[in-house]
Structure 1
Amino acid sequence: MSVPPEPEYCPPAPEALALVHADDDLLVANKPAGLLSVPGRGNHKSASVLSYLSERYGPVFDVHRLDLDTSGLIIVARNRFVQSNLAQQFADRKVSKTYEALVRGQMAGVSGAIDLPIGRDWNERPLRRIDHDAGKSSKTLWWLEKQGELNAHLRLRPVTGRTHQLRLHLASIGHPILGDRLYDNVYRSGRLHLHAGRLDFTHPATGKPVQFLSAKPFDLRGVKDNTRL
């Protein structure tokens, strides 16, 4: 599979980054699709969640990232202690992340697990690939929320956190995410239908469990032709 050319970076305006929660220790924002989590290489890629929030709140520090084309909840730390604490929670798999996605095809069942190792595709960067010899173990849980005629709405929970994990795992079982220019062979245009809709973790300062929700900005209504998205 050849890598399609990278589109020009045209980030949403700062107002499109909605704040879900703010306190003295951390921020939770709702990232729009098309915005980098952290600044990229070159001045033309300086706009990001991190740069937008630093302009509003002063120094902030990244904890985790969402793909450019993925929308949804993202946490930003306001001090190094919180950054380190949250990074450790992610490393220990104590942060629960739930995503919503629209995928192609009819699902064979109402739930399942995808347990396939992921490695780099050195010949087709930035693609990842299923690599049974040298790939890192990767697991995704899925639940069917609604089945349409041509496409399905899934709820996803990554057990591991590999780059492009949800996108590659769904494509590998024949159900690529709609709008995925990297892993959908019949992609034409449109946004990636993947949204980080829920985060559960322990607040580093209070030690109490917290939960944040964000409604998905898409649904199966209006998705009529699954070869032209």
Structure 2
Amino acid sequence: MSNTLFQAFTTNIGTIPLPDAFTFPFYYEPHELSRIAANKLQNYLETQTDFEHNFGLDEKQKGLEIGKMFGVLVVQNQNGEIGHLWAFSGKLAESNHHSKFVPTVYDMLDDSGYFKKEEIILNQYNAEIEALEQNHDYLSAIKHLEQTKLQAEKEITAQKEQIKRGKKDRAEKRQTATPKQLEQFNKESQDEGIFLKKMTQYWNYKLEDAKQNLEQFTNKINQLKEERKEKSAALQQQLFTEYAFLNKNKELKSLAEIFNGNPPAGSGECAAPKLLHYAFQHDLKPICMAEFWWGKSPKSEVRKHQQFYPACMGKCEPILKHMLKGIETDKNPFEINSANGKELEIVFEDEHMIAVNKPAEFLSVPGKLITDSVQTRIQSKYPNAMIVHRLDMSTSGIILLGKNVESYKYLQAQFIKRKVKKRYVALLDGVVPVKEGTIELPLRVDLDNRPTQIVCFEHGKPAKTEWKTIEIRNNQTLVQFYPITGRTHQLRVHAAHHLGLNCPIVGDDLYGTKANRLHLHAESITFKHPFSKEAMTIQVEIDFKKPNAW
């Protein structure tokens, strides 16, 4: 196969050393070669006239605004030349194919392909079902059944009311009635009951007749829907089987095999799998890669224009595990104990509780891969101690622990009832023009990319943050946060999201740009002591809140 999409570098890269290992795709700093390739792609996107797509960057452009993730893969061909490939996630301008980008691994939009042919059959089912559901006789049958139900209910109810009134009237007359009159009253009561029974039978017959008339249509519609369901499920399974990815050993593995038959929606459509699959197809050696966002951020996620992002965990991790088999990658940073060599500062301690100042990049509790944490270190000295609340691994600041069950429960209850007052200090990357305010954006986990959180007004949990500006300097804003709720990544998302402050915290590698650390610190906490029940405040300041340390 000819490497028609292999692009040589147009700048001199001879002095740039190649990386020792391929990019770890789920947490990385782009290699210089990846940055050069990405810059070339971004320049193309700014000037191209090959397609029309509204990225949301031009207010005058009409149409649905859709930002897009793009990827670059630096590769080496069989002649030893270094070049790069381009890809986009999903579709671009409603198409899978554009001349400068690698194609999708499995093209569902190919008119001659299996998927499109089967889709035609499914559409025929849809058309037939829709025609039946709009059929005049079917709609009349529905209306007739509803009218019959209403009329039956109306007449039967009226007869029951008539019986009730007659019974009451006869009851009054029975006090002075003659035997002959009593006999007549009994007969009237029996006749009314018989009439109600016959009326009920009549309407039951009419209802059954109306139902059978309607079932002529509903049975056919339900049969078609069941056939469509089975056909759609079979198509999905066929797709999952045919949608297969190569690795460097030319081993194919399908979505069905990778995800045990049930992949998340959109699996395989991201830029990274497309790039690697094309490289392996054309005997190109992967050197390094990077992905960046281009355009307006989605409503729920935090995505910044031109910023680099890691591959998603939910959809890409299982696929890339197969595709990168046999390729040495950079070490997984999640397996490195970043707390190694760091000390926990105890800022308060008595026989009931402990307060520690947790360093940044230090777990509050043991993780899946790393056990070193605030909890394990304190428990090594006080085995009965229990951590009351947590901070994100990247956030520094005050954490409380109870030394016994009673103290732990008393402190924890204050957090549950939101009686604890917390103050954080954060340095934001940008200028916040407002002095203070309140942010209320509900949050939930991004199911395809844990532990990232997204704003979701439908399924998110309420999240509320009060804040105020302390100082603005060098295009950065120092703020204090007062979280009313305690959701995962609440302050980070509320700072970065465009409906929040639209300024990510400096060093936020999930919602902003990586730096030497996340500039977020839990500096003050006010609560009631578990034994004395007196209010107490613990405060630990940090250097980055001081202007001369910026």
Greater share of helix residues, 1 or 2? 2
Question: Paired residue for 1:99?
Answer: 424
Distance 1:81 1:222, change over 3 A: closer
SS in 1 for 2:406: helix
Alpha-carbon contact 2:506-2:515 (below 8 Å) kept: no
Counterpart Cα distance in 2 of 1:75 and 1:11: 21
**Residue 189 of structure 1 pairs with residue 540 of structure 2:** no
- Is 1:25 the equivalent of 2:352? yes
Instruction: Please tell me whether the aligned partners of residues 139 and 159 of structure 1 are also in contact (alpha carbons under 8 angstroms).
Output: yes
1:115 and 2:417 correspond: no
Please, which of 478, 483, 493 is the counterpart of residue 153 of structure 1? 478
| Aligned pairs, number | 219
Given the superposition, is the C-alpha separation of residues 95 and 17 from structure 1 closer, same or farther in structure 2, using an over 3 Å criterion?
A: same
Instruction: Give the whole-Å Cα distance in 1 for the aligned partners of 2:353 and 2:333.
Output: 32
Q: How does 1:29-68 map to 2 (within 5 A)?
A: 29-42=356-369, 45-68=370-393
Question: Residue in 2 aligned with 1:77?
Answer: 402
Aligned AA for 1:51?
Answer: T
| Pair 1:61–1:40, CA change in 2 (3 A) | same
SS at match of 1:218: helix
1:84 Cα deviation after fit: 1.4
TM norm structure 2: 0.38
1:178 maps to 2:506: yes
Where structure 2 has 5 or more consecutive residues not aligned to the other structure, the ranges are 1-302, 304-308, 314-331
Choose which of 517, 525, 531 in structure 2 pairs with 1:205: 531
Q: Which segments of structure 1 move beyond 6 Å, counting only runs of 4 or more?
A: none
Partners of 2:543 and 2:549 within 8 A in 1: no
1:81 CA drift (Å): 1.3
By how many angstroms is 1:86 displaced? 1.4
SS where residue 54 of structure 1 aligns? helix
1:12 maps to which of 339, 353, 365 = 339
* Percent of matched pairs sharing the same residue: 35
Aligned residues of 1:14 and 1:52 also touching (Cα < 8 A):
no
* The structure with more radius of gyration: 2
Equivalent residue letter for 1:107: V
Instruction: Give 1 or 2: higher strand fraction.
Output: 1
Amino acid at match of 2:523: G
- Cα shift readout 1:171-216 (whole Å, capped 9, x = no counterpart): 01311000000111xx143200000000100111111101100011
For structure 1, the residue ranges without an aligned partner over 5 or more in a row are 224-229
Aligned residue for 1:68, secondary structure, equals: coil
Q: Which amino acid aligns with 2:544?
A: F
Instruction: Provide the rounded CA distance (Å) in 2 between the counterparts of 1:164 and 1:188.
Output: 16
Q: Alignment RMSD, CA only?
A: 1.8
- Give the CA deviation at 1:61: 0.6
- Report deviation, 1:116: 0.9
Q: Partners in 2 of 1:125 and 1:116 — Cα distance?
A: 19
In 1, the alpha carbon distance for the partners of 2:543 and 2:401 equals 22
- Per the normalisation by structure 1, the TM-score is 0.90
Structure 2 Cα separation of the partners of residues 98 and 7 of structure 1: 30
Take 1:54 and 1:41, find their aligned partners in 2: how far apart are those partners? 18
Distance 1:148 1:132 in 2: 34
CA deviation map 1:47-93 (0-9, x unaligned): 11111112233321111000100000000111111111111110100
Alignment correspondent of 1:227:
none
1:124-135 equivalent positions in 2, closer than 5 A = 124-135=449-460
Task: Give the drift of 1:13.
Answer: 4.6
Equivalent of 1:164, from 489, 492, 498? 489
Q: Deviations for 1:81-121, whole angstroms, at most 9, x for unmatched residues?
A: 11111111101000111000000111122111111111111
> Structure 1 residues 31 and 120 mapped into 2: Cα distance closer, same or farther (>3 Å)?
same
Distance between the aligned counterparts of 1:3 and 1:89, measured in 2?
A: 38
Matched AA of 1:200? T
- Matched letter for residue 199 of structure 1: I
Aligned-pair distance for 1:14? Answer: 6.6
